[in-house]
């Protein structure tokens, strides 16, 4: 008999408990780390088409051992307090794993954004932002939101402008949110950051032959078969980068209205364009359409990438998952019971708290850029170009030969903001993966990547608590 369904928050806490047992934390400290510090529920009216509608929103601060706390805001009819608290706790661990100096937070508004026109959604967003700001849950110094499901740069711009009008004396107002449009203080690379981070993380895994062999695979990412569940922002960019730049073959994409399969590989850009035009995958000419979304999760593949909602791999289907690697691009896609089953079956799980941390990493870069009031690369780009000119001239004088065109192009180009963002993201994901590997090598009791990642997070949070005199 299946166990009683656990909440999202309970699933996260149970997975963290495994690392806490290995770490041998005292019950009091373990409870302090897991507990949500503060949760606010706001209810407010907005006039829509001549009628007053009431809206409910949440913002949870999981841990303020580092400030500001950081976490996205999602718009969905299904938003609830348990979900927001679970996502906030994941953000705390996520930031610690990749050494982003933020605490964890999350927000959510109970609204279906597809049911409202742009101006209506703007009024709703501004009202929600005011509720958060006047209660101290929106500030560049203490609480910084970002986009999540159902929100994007547009909503972040509205929130930022609302905060600016409330607190015009705050010279750092632009840093009160991240994920903004580039022309309003956003950083290039933020939109695709989570997907790009997933690419960098998987590349790093495949650099280590022993890691790849533990997964039951060999070689590099080229021609590895991948099934993607959810082609939203994260799934699209991860699949696009991995297929176009690393040769991964996307053999199936699962979406709301069905699944597209093609053993020769799916063109991700073509499919995305079709979804935008048609509203779903049905009718796409680059593969075969089917309605069995649940069955598609069990297609034989090398990499299964759940990139949509939480709780899609459960104890009901975990025994039928037919992948070598489960790459958790979404937050909480695997329940605790399912994770236990996958571990026993020897299926490698790359945990969400590490794998999808590219978004918060680049959000950190954007926040730093905003606090510094200068774009990355502005001070050094032309100096780098000049240095490149000196290098090429010296090489040609020494060798007596003219350099090829590609060498000129690379050596004479100074790094722009996107180069620096990608470089920082790549370094972050690679370093974090190496830390996870090192922890597993040093602790024989840790046999899976999720426990190793949480072990690292807990150790860093414990160290911060100790330094502050919390215990």
Measured in whole angstroms, the distance separating CA 368 from the mean position of its chain's CA atoms is 18
Cβ-proximal residues to 337 (8 Å cutoff; 6+ apart), any chain: 2, 3, 6, 314, 315, 318
Phi, psi of 154 (to 5 degrees): -60, -50
Q: Is residue 17 part of a domain?
A: no
User: Do 232 and 250 belong to one domain?
Assistant: yes
Q: Are residues 219 and 135 in the same domain?
A: no
Number of domains in the chain: 2
- Clarify whether residues 58 and 122 are in a common domain: yes
235 and 321 share one domain = yes
Joined tokens for residue 83 = 């979900």
Give the angle 222-351-245 at the CA atoms, nearest 5°.
25
Task: Judge if 167 and 209 occupy the same domain.
Answer: no
> What span, in angstroms and rounded, lies between the C-alpha atoms of 57 and 79?
8
Q: Select from 147, 9, 142, 129 the least CA-distant residue to 73.
A: 147
Where in the sequence numbering do the catalytic residues fall? 106
Residue 216: inside a domain: yes
Pairing mode of beta strands 143-147, 301-306: unpaired
End-of-domain residue from the set 131, 150, 184 = 184
The pTM (predicted TM-score) of the whole model is 0.93
**Whether residue 263 sits in one domain with residue 210:** yes
Q: How far apart are CA 409 and CA 285, in angstroms?
A: 39
- pLDDT at position 309 is 87
* CATH classification at residue 272: 3.40.50.720
Query: Which residue range forms the structural domain that includes residue 100?
Result: 38-184
β-strands 103-110, 51-63 pairing = antiparallel
Is residue 160 a part of any domain in this protein? yes
One pLDDT digit (tens) per residue for the chain, 471 residues: 455 788 999 999 999 999 999 999 989 999 999 999 999 999 999 999 999 999 999 999 999 999 999 999 999 999 999 999 999 999 999 999 999 999 999 999 999 999 999 999 999 999 999 999 999 999 999 999 999 999 999 999 999 999 999 999 999 999 999 999 999 999 999 999 999 999 999 999 999 999 999 999 999 999 999 999 999 999 999 999 999 999 999 999 999 999 999 999 999 999 999 999 999 999 999 999 999 999 999 999 999 999 998 999 999 999 999 999 999 999 999 999 999 999 999 999 999 999 999 999 999 999 999 999 999 888 888 888 899 889 989 998 999 999 888 888 888 888 899 999 999 999 999 999 999 999 999 999 999 999 999 999 999 999 998 888 776
243 with 274, same domain: the answer is: yes
Rounded to a whole number, what is the distance in angstroms from the first to the last CA of the chain?
42
> Do residue 208 and residue 282 come from a single domain?
yes
CB 22 within 8 A of CB 446: yes
Nearest to 437 by CA among 452, 450, 427: 452
Residue 352: inside a domain, yes or no?
yes
Q: Is residue 423 part of a domain?
A: no
- Give the CATH number, domain containing residue 74: 3.40.50.10860
Q: Is residue 449 part of a domain?
A: no
For residues 168 and 244, membership in a common domain is answered with no
Based on the domain organization, do 119 and 206 belong to the same domain? no
Largest Cα–Cα separation, the chain: 79
**Cβ atoms of residues 414 and 381 within 8 Å:** yes
Same domain, 209 and 328: yes
**Statement to judge: residues 57 and 170 lie in one domain:** yes
């Amino acid at each position: 008999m299946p166990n009683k369904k656990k909440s999202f928050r309970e699933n996260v806490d149970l997975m963290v408990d495994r690392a806490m047992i290995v770490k041998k934390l005292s019950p009091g400290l373990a409870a302090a780390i897991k507990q949500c510090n503060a949760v606010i529920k706001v209810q407010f009216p907005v006039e829509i088409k001549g009628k007053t509608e009431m809206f409910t929103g949440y913002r949870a601060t999981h841990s303020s051992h580092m400030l500001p706390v950081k976490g996205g805001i999602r718009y969905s009819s299904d938003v609830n307090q348990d979900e927001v608290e679970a996502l906030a706790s994941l953000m705390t661990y996520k930031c610690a794993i990749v050494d982003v100096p933020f605490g964890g937070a999350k927000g959510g508004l109970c609204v279906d954004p597809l049911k409202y026109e742009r101006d209506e959604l703007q009024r709703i967003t501004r009202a929600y932002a005011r509720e958060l700001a006047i209660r101290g849950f929106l500030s560049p110094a203490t609480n910084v939101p970002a986009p999540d499901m159902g929100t994007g740069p547009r909503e972040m711009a509205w929130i930022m402008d609302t905060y600016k009008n409330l607190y015009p004396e705050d010279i750092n107002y632009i840093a009160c949110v991240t994920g903004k449009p580039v022309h309003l203080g956003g950083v290039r690379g933020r939109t695709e950051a989570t997907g790009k981070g997933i690419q960098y993380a998987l590349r790093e895994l495949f650099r280590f032959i022993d890691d790849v062999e533990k997964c039951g695979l060999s070689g590099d990412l080229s021609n590895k078969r991948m099934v993607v569940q959810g082609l939203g922002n994260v799934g699209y960019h991860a699949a696009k980068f991995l297929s176009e730049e690393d040769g991964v073959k996307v053999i199936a994409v699962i979406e709301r209205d069905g699944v597209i399969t093609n053993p020769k590989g799916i063109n991700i850009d073509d499919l995305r364009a079709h979804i935008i035009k048609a509203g779903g995958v049905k009718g796409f000419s680059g593969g075969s359409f089917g309605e069995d979304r649940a069955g598609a999760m069990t297609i034989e593949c090398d990499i299964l990438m759940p990139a949509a909602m939480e709780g899609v791999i459960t104890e009901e289907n975990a025994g039928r998952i037919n992948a070598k690697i489960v790459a958790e691009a979404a937050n909480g896609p695997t329940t605790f019971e399912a994770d236990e089953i996958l571990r026993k079956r020897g299926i490698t799980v790359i945990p969400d708290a590490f794998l999808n941390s590219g978004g918060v990493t680049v959000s950190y870069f954007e926040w730093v850029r905003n606090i510094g009031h200068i774009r990355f690369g502005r001070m050094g780009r032309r100096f780098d170009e000049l240095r490149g000119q000196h290098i090429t001239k010296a090489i040609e004088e020494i060798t007596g030969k003219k350099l090829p065109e590609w060498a000129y192009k690379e050596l004479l180009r100074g790094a722009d903001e996107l180069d620096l963002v990608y470089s920082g993201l790549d370094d972050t994901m690679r370093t974090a993966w190496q830390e996870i590997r090192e922890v597993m090598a040093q602790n024989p009791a840790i046999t899976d990547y999720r426990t190793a990642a949480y072990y690292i997070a807990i150790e860093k949070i414990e160290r911060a608590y100790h330094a502050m005199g919390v215990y």
